[in-house]
Amino acid sequence: MVKKSDKRGEKRITATQASRSFSRLLDQVEAGRRFLVQRRGRDVCVIAPPAIRRRCASECLDLLRARSRVLLDDGFGADLLQVLAQEPVEERPSWDS
C-alpha cells in the first residue's frame, strides 16, 4: 500500500490504494500517521490527524466566564495553581528587538 516516504514523514499512496484500504488507512491516521495521496502521479491531498489546538489559561477563563455559575469547593484554588504550575511557559517574541 505504501510507496515511499516524503520529507515531512508522509507516506505516498495512490488514490486507488487509499480507496481499497480506506478503513485500514483511517486506523493508521488515527494512530498518528500521515499519507500523501496521488492521482495519476500528481499529489492530490494529505490525509492526516487533525491539528490539536492548544488554549492558554486566559482563553479557558473566558470560556468559563461565559458559562453559568457553579459552586467550587475549598480546594479549587490549590488545584488550579497546581495545574497552572505544570503548564509549559510559552516563549513570547520580544517587541523591543
- Greater confidence, 97 or 49? 49
Residue with more model confidence, 9 or 75: 75
Lowest mean pLDDT among 16-20, 63-67, 78-82: 63-67
Which of 95, 88, 94, 92 lies closest to 55, judged by CA? 88
Return the biggest CA–CA distance within the chain: 64
Task: Please write the tens of the pLDDT for every residue from 66-91.
Answer: 888 778 888 888 998 888 888 877 66
Q: Exposure pattern of 58-80 as b/e (b: 16+ CB <10 Å)? A: eeeeeeeeeeeeeeeeeeeeeee
Q: Does domain 11-47 have CATH number 3.40.1620?
A: yes
Q: Domain extents for the chain?
A: 11-47, 57-86
